[in-house]
Structure 1
Amino acid sequence: MNLRAIGLAAALCCAGIAHAAAIPDFVPDMDTDQSACTDFNAWANNRWIKANPIPADKSRWGSFDALAEKSLNAQRGLVEDAAKNADAAKQGSIEQKIGWIYRAAMDEAAIERAGFDPIKKDLAAIAALKTRADVVTWLQHAHARAETRAFSFGVSADYKNAKRQIAFAGQGGLGLPGPEYYSKDEYAKLRAAYVAHITKLFELTGTPADEAASRASAVMALETQLAAASFLRVELRKPENQYHFVTLDEANKITPHWNWAQYFKVMKVDAGIKSAGGFSLSQPKFFAALDTLLAEAPVAQWQAYFAFHAIDSASPALSKAFQDENFAFYGKTINGTPEQELRWKRALAAVNGSMGQALGQLYVKAYFPPESKARMQVLVDNVRNALKARIEKLDWMSAETKAKAIAKWQTFLPKIGYPDTWRDWGGLTVSADSHYANLRAARAFNQRYQLAKIGKATDRYEWGMTPQTVNAYYSPSTNTINFPAAILQPPFFYAKGDDAINYGGIGAVIGHEAGHGFDDQGSQFDGEGNNANWWTAEDRQRFEERANKLVAQADEFAPLPQYPDKHANGRLTLGENIGDLGGLNMAYDAMLAATAGQPDPMLDGLSRDQRFFMNWAKVWAGAIRPEAQLVRLNTDPHAPAAFRTNAAPSNMPAFAKAYSCKAGDAMVRPDDKRVIIW
C-alpha cells in the first residue's frame, strides 16, 4: 500500500464549540534567551528538549515518541492481561492468540535453549543447493513462505485502474539503508562494519572464521550489484518508477532466467494474476540485473546471500548472541542507540507485527471513547472545507484545473480511529511454546491475507495502520485520509480542549494528510486513485515553480552543527513539506472560521494565534542522535523536526503578525522567497 504518513459542505462552517480549557502549559518550555522571530523551534522547544533527553534505548525522542511510549504502555497492560488469561480464554479468540504470542516472546529461557535451531532446516536446505535451477526454486519457495529475498513482492491498487488490486514486484534485497551506501566513499566504514556483521552472524552458526569472512565478501559483492541497478529513494518518488504494468510474456522477456508463471504458481496467486491480466514489474532495470545474477553469479554466492539473510532476519527471535549482534549493527552502528529496548517492548513489537489489527481491537475498546471520534469529525470537516475554500481562491490556478482539484476534494474519504469491520484471525495457529514458530506462522498468514486480494476490488475502507499507531497517513490509490486512535491524544488532540491548540495540533495533521492529495506525488493521482494528469500544462508549471522554492528552503537546512555540509534533501522531503505548509494554512483558516465572533481568552498570556503556532511547535519538539539523523537525510521523506517547526510558519504572514516579527527576521521569508501553494 502506497501511503503518505505524517505521521462536504460548500463553505467553511460551524461556530466554535465551547470546551473546557484543557491545554498544555507552554510557558515552561519557552527559552526566553531565544527569539521566536529568529528561531521559533529553539524559542518554543529548547527547554523541553533539555528536560527530556533521548532515552538510552531510542535513536530520537520527541512529542511523537513520548506519545508512542504512552501507547506502548497501554498496549503492555492489554497483552500482559491476555498472556495471563490466555489458557482460559475462548479457544481461538484474539485474546488467546495475542496472549500466547506475547508469552512465547517473553520466554527468554526457551528462546535461549533453542539457540538457532529454528532456522537450521532452512540453512541445511540452502547448503544443499547445487544448480542455478535450485537457486531459482529456493528463491520462489522462500517468497511463498513470506521470506522476501532479493526483491519485494506485494499487493496494491493498479495505478491505472485503482478500483482493482494487482501484484507489485519491486527492487529490494539490500541490507544497508539505501543503494548509495554501497558505492559512496563516505560510507566505506559502514560497509566494512556491515561485512563484519555478516561475518559475525556466520560465525555464530558455526562457520569457521576464514570461511565466514569469505562468504561475507560474497554477500557484499552480490548486494553491491543489486544496489547498482536500484533507484535511490528520491527517484522512487516518481510514479513512473513505482509502476510498470506487464503481461507474463513481457515480464519473462525482461527476466529470461526467471519464469514468472512458475513463480506465481508457487505463490498460489496465478488465478489473481490471470484475472488482472498481468502485474507491475515496477523497476525493469533492477529485474534485468537480478536476472543476470541468477544466470551468472556462482551458486555458492547465492547460498551465502540466502544464508546470511535467513540468519539476519531471524536474529531478533533467536538466542541472546544473535539478538545482541543484530542490535550492535542496526541499533548502535546504524542509528547510534546505546541500549536495546527492554524485553517487553520487543515482545510487544512481535505482537504488533503478527496481529497488530487484533491488538488494535482491544486498544480501541479500552482507550478510545466515542466522544473523541465525534470531536475529531468536526475538526476533519472544518479543515477539509478550508482546503476547498483555499483551492477556490488560488490566484495561480486556472478554472479548468480548479474544477478537477475540487472534484478530487469531493471524493476524499476520511477515516477516524479504527476500521468499521475488524479482520478475522481464524486461520492463524499459534502457541505459547515457540516464539520463532509464531512469527513465521503469522508472517505467512498475513502474506496469504494480502495476496488473496490480487485481481479483486480495492477496499477503500481498509486500514494500512493499526489503531494504536501514533501517526496518520494519506493513501493516493484510495484517496483516503486516515487518523488512528492513538494520535488523537495530547499534544495533538484534546477532546475537551481549546480550539486554537487543537487546530495547531491535530488540525494541522488533518490538513497535512489532505495536502498529500495535492503534493508533488499525490497531485499526479486523480480522485479515483488513478495515476492520471488532471492539470493544464501551464498550471503544472506554476505548481512546479512554487514547489521548487520549497525544495530550495529545505536544501539550505543543515541539522547537525558537527556536519555543516550535510543538508536536508528538499526533493526527497518535498511531499511532506508541501503537506506541512498547506496543512498549517488550512488549519489556521479552519480555526478562524470555527472561532469567528468569539472573544480570545488569552490563555497563559498567549493569544489564540500564538497558541495555535505554539502547539504546532510542540508537536515537533524533539532531538535525534547524529547517526540516526545522517541516515534519515538519505532515507526519510520527512525533513528534520527543527525544520518542520520553522518552515511552514516562516512562510505565513499570520505567524509574523502573531509574534510581532519584522521584515529581515529569520522567521519572516522575503516576498520573493515566501511559498504559497495550497
Structure 2
Amino acid sequence: MYKDMSVGYKLLLDMEEFTFNLAERQQSNETFDWININFMSNYGMYPLLPLKVHYDTESRKFDVLLSTSGKVLGNSDVVDIKNLTRDFKIERDEEVKQIEDEFELAVSFESNLTMHAKRRNQTEQLSLAEFYLQHKEDALNWTRYFEVAFNGSARNDWLIQNTIANVDPLVNFLQKTELETLRNYVKWRTIVKFYYIWKYEVSDKSVESSCREHTGQYFNYALLPWFIDNVYDADRRADILQLAKHIKETFYELLDKYTWLDDETRSHAKTKLRAMDITVGYSDEMRHRDIIDKVYEDVEIGDNWYRNLQAVERNRARVRMRSVNKAIIPPLMSTRDVNAYYADFLNLVFIGIGISQAPFYHYKYPPSIKFSGIGNIIGHEMAHGFDSYCYQFNYDGKKMNWWTEASLRNFKERYRCMESQYNKYIFHGVLTNGTLTSGDNIADNVGTRISYQAYLNSYGKLDGDKKPIPGLELTNKQLYFLKFAQTWCTGKDDASKVRKMKTDVHAYEEFRVIGTLQNMPEFSEVFKCKLGADMNPLKKCVIW
C-alpha cells in the first residue's frame, strides 16, 4: 500500500470539500462564494487570493502575509499529467481523458489567475484595523475574507503584510468565474501538493527511512522528551551550558582589549553580547507535557500511511493558523540535526541536541577537547553575532547601526584583511571566495580564539601542559588545536568539494583549519612554529 499512490489519490477525492453539492450549498447559504472556496483546503493552501501565517523577524511574532498567486500547475517542469495518471494507476481511456481535461481547465484558469494581481514595490505593513480602513474602498469585503479565513477569530491588532498592489482586478475575475472552476483549481492544487510529497517518499527510499524523516518533520516537539530522557540528560545539558557561560564571559572580557574599538561602540558590543541568549538542546518550556499535547491534540494516527500523512499535514496547517500574534520561536531545526545556528533577529545562539554528542562532546572528555569540540561550535555561533553581516543587528535583534564611524571603518578594514587572506587559497585550481565565505571565516577565527582563551582561563593554566591521553605525547593545549582540525576532516571526494567551493558560504574544510590557525599566535606558540613559517605568517588577520 505504501508504494501505491492510487490509495492516497482516492482518499483525496473522497474529501468532503471536493464532493459536496455546490448548488445546494449556494441555495442554503446566500453568502457562499469564491472566498469560501479559497479557504476550503485543510492543508494551509489558499491559492485564489493567497494568505500565509509566517514568522516575522522584526516583530518576532507570527503575522499574516497577503500575496499574489503563483504559477504551479502550469509549470511543466514540475507537473507531468501523464506521469501523474500512471502513478495513480488510472488506466481506462475515458477516465484518463476526464482527468486530462480537468487538469487542462485548471492550468488555463491558473494562467488567467496569475495575470490579475500585481505585486507592490514595497510591502504594506498595517494592523488589521488599519488595513480595513486603508482598503475600505476595495472591491473585496476584507472583513468577511478574514472572518472566513480564521473562523471569526481575527483580531484588529494583528499585523498584516500586504504585497498586493491592487486587489480589484483579481476580485472581479474571481466573482465572474464559475465556482466549480474555482473548486476544480483548489482540488488540483491539493492533489499536486500531495503528489510532490508522495513522489519523493515512494522513490527508492526504504519505509524505515521515510518514517524516520516524517517523524522528525512532523513530530519534532514530541521527540524532545525522548531525546532528553535517553541521550541528553540534565547533567549533560548543564555541563554544556557551563562551557557556554565560560566562553561568553571570556568574549566579554576580551572586548575591553580591542584598541580599535572606541568606548561608545565597545559599550554597544557589550550590551549585545550580554543580551545574547544561548539555548542548548531545547527551551525549558518545551519540557512541559501539556504544551506538547496541545500541539498534537487533533492528530489521529492509524494504519493507513496516506491518511496519516493527511492528518499531520492538516494538523500543521491548523497549528500555524492559530499562531498569529504569538511570540513562539519556530522549530528552526530538527531535534536530530547535527547543527547549530545564530538567529540575528532574536540575538540567539541555539546548539542542537544532535551536535551535542560525540565526537563534538562527551561528558567524560577532558576539558581541552570539550572546549575545542562543542565549545568551539558555541564560540563560532556567538561570533556570528559580530560577523560581516550580523554586525548590523543590535542587542534586541533589530537592524540598526550601533557603530561609530571610526569603529565601523576599523572593523571593515579588519574583516577585509581576512577576505584577502582567504581569497588566496587554491584547491584544484579553484580560488576560495573570501567575500562569499566572510561571515563564517570570521566565526571560525573568533570562535576558536575565544573558546581557547576560555579553556585557558578556566582549566588551561592548571592542566594545559599535561598529557592526558596515554600513549599520545600531546599536551592539552596541543590537543585543543588537534581536535579543532579534526572537526573539519570530512573525507569527501574532490569533485564534490570543488562544486561546493563555488556556492558554499563556508570555506573549503582544509582552509577553515589553515586560515584560522595561521591567524593565531597561540597555535604557533604551542607547536613552536617559527615566525615567517607557513603556519606563523608575519601578517595575521585578527578581528575580535
Identify the match of residue 147 of structure 1 among 40, 45, 57.
45
Identify the match of residue 206 of structure 2 among 324, 327, 342.
342
Structure 1 pair 523–259 and aligned structure 2 pair: CA distance change class (3 A): farther
State whether structure 2 residue 324 is matched by structure 1 residue 454: yes
**2:7 maps to what in 1?**
114
Structure 1 pair 217–444 and aligned structure 2 pair: CA distance change class (3 A): closer
- Distance across 1 between alignment mates of 2:161 and 2:509: 35
Amino acid at match of 2:2: E
Which stretch shows the higher mean deviation, 587-596 or 624-633?
A: 624-633
- Secondary structure of the structure 2 residue equivalent to 1:274: coil
- Distance across 2 between alignment mates of 1:223 and 1:631: 39
For residue 361 of structure 1, report the CA deviation from its aligned partner.
1.1
Identify the match of residue 195 of structure 2 among 315, 320, 335.
315
Report if the CA contact (8 A) 1:613-1:655 is conserved: yes
Report if the CA contact (8 A) 1:269-1:454 is conserved: no
**2:400 maps to what in 1?**
532
State whether structure 2 residue 274 is matched by structure 1 residue 410: yes
- Distance across 1 between alignment mates of 2:500 and 2:168: 30
State whether structure 2 residue 435 is matched by structure 1 residue 570: yes
Structure 1 pair 373–273 and aligned structure 2 pair: CA distance change class (3 A): same
Report if the CA contact (8 A) 2:8-2:306 is conserved: no
State whether structure 2 residue 222 is matched by structure 1 residue 358: yes
**1:663 maps to what in 2?**
532
Report if the CA contact (8 A) 1:273-1:455 is conserved: no
Structure 1 pair 341–391 and aligned structure 2 pair: CA distance change class (3 A): farther
Which stretch shows the higher mean deviation, 377-386 or 528-537?
A: 528-537
For residue 220 of structure 1, report the CA deviation from its aligned partner.
12
Once the two structures are superposed, the pairs formed by residues 156-555 of structure 1 within 5 Å of their partners are: 156=55, 159=58, 161-162=59-60, 165-167=62-64, 194=77, 200-201=83-84, 204-205=87-88, 245-247=125-127, 264-268=146-150, 274-276=156-158, 278-281=159-162, 284=163, 287-288=164-165, 310-315=190-195, 318=198, 322-323=199-200, 327=203, 340-421=204-285, 422=288, 423-426=291-294, 427-456=297-326, 458=327, 464-551=332-419
- Distance across 1 between alignment mates of 2:487 and 2:355: 11
**2:29 maps to what in 1?**
none
- Distance across 2 between alignment mates of 1:269 and 1:624: 54
Report if the CA contact (8 A) 2:484-2:513 is conserved: yes
Q: Kindly report the root-mean-square deviation, in angstroms, between the aligned alpha carbons of the 2 structures.
A: 5.1
**1:582 maps to what in 2?**
446
For residue 172 of structure 1, report the CA deviation from its aligned partner.
10
Write the deviation string for residues 4-28 of structure 1: whole angstroms up to 9, x where unpaired.
xxxxxxxxxxxxxxxxxxxxxxxxx
Structure 1 pair 220–135 and aligned structure 2 pair: CA distance change class (3 A): closer
Structure 1 pair 323–451 and aligned structure 2 pair: CA distance change class (3 A): closer
- Secondary structure of the structure 2 residue equivalent to 1:474: strand
Structure 1 pair 377–156 and aligned structure 2 pair: CA distance change class (3 A): same
Which stretch shows the higher mean deviation, 517-526 or 195-204?
A: 195-204
- Distance across 1 between alignment mates of 2:252 and 2:8: 59
Write the deviation string for residues 572-620 of structure 1: whole angstroms up to 9, x where unpaired.
x544333323212211211221211335234423343432222223223
Larger Rg computed on CA atoms: 2
Report if the CA contact (8 A) 1:412-1:527 is conserved: yes
Structure 1 pair 552–113 and aligned structure 2 pair: CA distance change class (3 A): same
- Distance across 1 between alignment mates of 2:6 and 2:324: 41
- Secondary structure of the structure 2 residue equivalent to 1:596: helix
Write the deviation string for residues 512-545 of structure 1: whole angstroms up to 9, x where unpaired.
2212322344333332333333222333333334
Amino acid at match of 2:466: P
- Distance across 1 between alignment mates of 2:356 and 2:55: 27
**1:96 maps to what in 2?**
none
Report if the CA contact (8 A) 1:388-1:409 is conserved: yes
Report if the CA contact (8 A) 2:339-2:352 is conserved: yes
Structure 1 pair 497–296 and aligned structure 2 pair: CA distance change class (3 A): same
- Distance across 2 between alignment mates of 1:555 and 1:294: 53
Amino acid at match of 1:677: I
Report if the CA contact (8 A) 1:469-1:484 is conserved: yes
- Distance across 1 between alignment mates of 2:184 and 2:498: 31
For residue 492 of structure 1, report the CA deviation from its aligned partner.
0.7
Report if the CA contact (8 A) 1:471-1:483 is conserved: yes
For residue 497 of structure 1, report the CA deviation from its aligned partner.
0.8
**2:27 maps to what in 1?**
none
- Distance across 2 between alignment mates of 1:436 and 1:395: 62
**1:94 maps to what in 2?**
none
Report if the CA contact (8 A) 1:219-1:304 is conserved: no
Report if the CA contact (8 A) 2:379-2:446 is conserved: yes
Structure 1 pair 292–519 and aligned structure 2 pair: CA distance change class (3 A): farther
Structure 1 pair 166–222 and aligned structure 2 pair: CA distance change class (3 A): same
Q: TM-score, normalised by structure 2?
A: 0.74
Identical amino acids, percent of aligned pairs: 20
Amino acid at match of 2:298: L
Which stretch shows the higher mean deviation, 263-272 or 442-451?
A: 263-272
Report if the CA contact (8 A) 1:140-1:263 is conserved: no
- Distance across 1 between alignment mates of 2:517 and 2:142: 51
Unaligned runs of 5+ in 1: 1-106, 176-190, 232-240, 328-339
Report if the CA contact (8 A) 1:167-1:454 is conserved: yes
Unaligned runs of 5+ in 2: 23-31, 91-95
- Secondary structure of the structure 2 residue equivalent to 1:116: helix
Structure 1 pair 264–213 and aligned structure 2 pair: CA distance change class (3 A): closer
For residue 639 of structure 1, report the CA deviation from its aligned partner.
4.8
For residue 198 of structure 1, report the CA deviation from its aligned partner.
7.3
For residue 472 of structure 1, report the CA deviation from its aligned partner.
1.9
**1:676 maps to what in 2?**
542
- Secondary structure of the structure 1 residue equivalent to 2:358: coil
Once the two structures are superposed, the pairs formed by residues 55-94 of structure 1 within 5 Å of their partners are: none
Amino acid at match of 1:494: H
- Distance across 2 between alignment mates of 1:530 and 1:293: 35
- Secondary structure of the structure 2 residue equivalent to 1:361: helix
Structure 1 pair 548–418 and aligned structure 2 pair: CA distance change class (3 A): same
Identify the match of residue 465 of structure 2 among 588, 592, 600.
600
Structure 1 pair 599–577 and aligned structure 2 pair: CA distance change class (3 A): closer
Structure 1 pair 406–463 and aligned structure 2 pair: CA distance change class (3 A): farther
Write the deviation string for residues 94-150 of structure 1: whole angstroms up to 9, x where unpaired.
xxxxxxxxxxxxx637x5561532333689959x99xxx9887655544x6223769
For residue 670 of structure 1, report the CA deviation from its aligned partner.
6.2
Q: TM-score, normalised by structure 1?
A: 0.61
Amino acid at match of 1:275: D
Structure 1 pair 356–586 and aligned structure 2 pair: CA distance change class (3 A): same
Structure 1 pair 455–411 and aligned structure 2 pair: CA distance change class (3 A): same
- Secondary structure of the structure 2 residue equivalent to 1:534: coil
Amino acid at match of 1:676: V
- Distance across 2 between alignment mates of 1:495 and 1:612: 16
Amino acid at match of 2:12: I
Write the deviation string for residues 11-54 of structure 1: whole angstroms up to 9, x where unpaired.
xxxxxxxxxxxxxxxxxxxxxxxxxxxxxxxxxxxxxxxxxxxx
Structure 1 pair 314–669 and aligned structure 2 pair: CA distance change class (3 A): farther
- Secondary structure of the structure 2 residue equivalent to 1:576: helix
Report if the CA contact (8 A) 2:5-2:87 is conserved: no
